[in-house]
Structure 1
Amino acid sequence: MAEPAFKRVVVKISGEALSGSEPFGIDQPIVERYAADLVSASEMGVRLGVVVGGGNILRGAHLSGENLSRPTADSMGMLATVMNALVLEAAIERAGTPARTMSALAMPQVCETFERARALRHLEERRIVIFAGGTGNPYFTTDTTAVLRAAEMGCEAVLKATNVDGVYSADPKKDPTATRYEQLTHEEAIRSDLKVMDATAFALARENRMPIIVFAIHEANAITAVLSGAGRSTLVGSRN
């Protein structure tokens, strides 16, 4: 297997990706496949953090309204990410690699509370760390969480898993003329209002010179392919 392009990364997996072809819930075979891919990446010598969304269970921003405040709805969304993290943690451990869920929301009976020093120790001991609970604050997406945790963990890149093989000028499922970018700067991604990540995440990545690799996760071994330089993807930022 090729030498990995990065030695320490955070992989961002959306909650919707865990539901497979279903509109809601958790598709266990899909989770097992992602877990196997993460374990293979770990076996390449890559230190791995994972941030998982909660959209397959609940999206706080969509739930908020007249009868429910945005902070309350976002807190509910953060709880959904913890549920997804626990499912993924169990699958990773069944696949043969130790994993730890660390939540920004304290719930010690369920999982560890996020502490930077402890998370770094887990990575050094070759555990896959799953960061749950978002940032612990409302109004911030799990995309922003992924960039934040990557910066805190001294990662070299964020691998953003999506349903398409990179960043396009428009939605390729709706616009057949959409073109795929091989590389963009963070500033270009913000200025073009590309929807693959929110502007706050891009701005934080720009400030920390954190490259974001956007790739499709639906293929088997997609994560290891990107790390090996074999998968199709779009680089936002610079590898330097």
Structure 2
Amino acid sequence: MQQILVLYNQTVLPPMSDHSNRPYVTLVSEVTIDGKLTVTRGASSKLLMQFMSHEAEVLLHQIRAESDAIMVGANTIRIDDSFLTVRHVPGKNPIRVIPTSKADISPDAHVLSPDAPTIIAVSARAEKDKCEALAEKGAHIEVCGDDLVDLHVLMKLLYEKYAIHTLMIEGGSTLNGHMFQENLIDELVLIHLPFIAGGEDTPSLVTGLHPREVTDLLKLELTSHYLAGDNLITKWRVIKT
């Protein structure tokens, strides 16, 4: 069943998508005015997130609570070491999903805490001992590709095996780019922060895309905008091509 997200008196029912074998995917991210995710490359996004208003934090955790699962990349786990659980609002913790082709996650990472199930998606070339170490910590190890994690395979597995119908992404620029490139994102929620980072190598919301013409650009439609405390929130629908 589709779940209802209640966002500050705005009731949002995720539309029925034209796909039947993957979750409805919402990318949620805080960004600076110039679209950066953090202060500089390799720095934790928590440096910026500390300046989010309480209302914006509540919004972020409300979306987590209303999502069946949450997905971030392995590099985000290595840098932020987040639990990816729900705070600030009542609700369940989402299933945690981490795609990492080589199983490059520490067995001591907070994302392996018993607060919620954790799915680690790996490729066939992931080292067996690394996978076993993660499995011993309770992670569900799923092979979703030969050399790299095939995101389409992963999305189908999440939907069919784990009954995940709504997936929230709080990824870094690389995961975001891969998901957009594979046409796997349905909507985008941005929490705008009043800073300009400006660094040439500072990660932006999306990297890895290589448009050559205007017709190559990803197209989105603004569906709503409002303030959560002092932070502007914009919500976008991805126009499928």
TM-score, normalised to structure 2's length?
0.42
More helix per residue: 1
More strand per residue: 2
Q: Which has the higher contact order (CA 8 A, sep 6+)?
A: 2
